[in-house]
Amino acid sequence: MAITNGAITVGTAATLITTCGVNPGTLHISNLDNTDTIFLGGASVAVNAGHSIAKNTSQDFVVYAGQQMFAISSKAGHSVAFTLVTP
């Protein structure tokens, strides 16, 4: 089992969180901000037009081989942490 951890800063442009390698896995994303929601999706994700994760919460996603997950915020400097677990 491979585990990849990371932290990124998201702003007002779609930002790549991670790319799943050749195996599917589980992606755990935490919104570390205490005031604003982040929005997740593909490369064209937009504020209020993606899957939302509320402030100070987290969520798990199944990701498939080669799949990418992007995030965007309504402000600059939005902290996001992630863990990707693949077999």
- Single pTM value for the model: 0.91
What CATH number is given for 2-86 in this structure? 2.60.120.770
Give per-residue pLDDT as tens, 33-72: 999 999 999 999 999 999 999 999 999 999 999 899 999 9
pLDDT value of position 1? 83
Burial class (CB in 10 A: 0-12, 13-18, 19+), 44: exposed
Q: Are 74 and 12 in contact (CB under 8 A)?
A: yes
CB atoms within 10 A of CB 29: 22
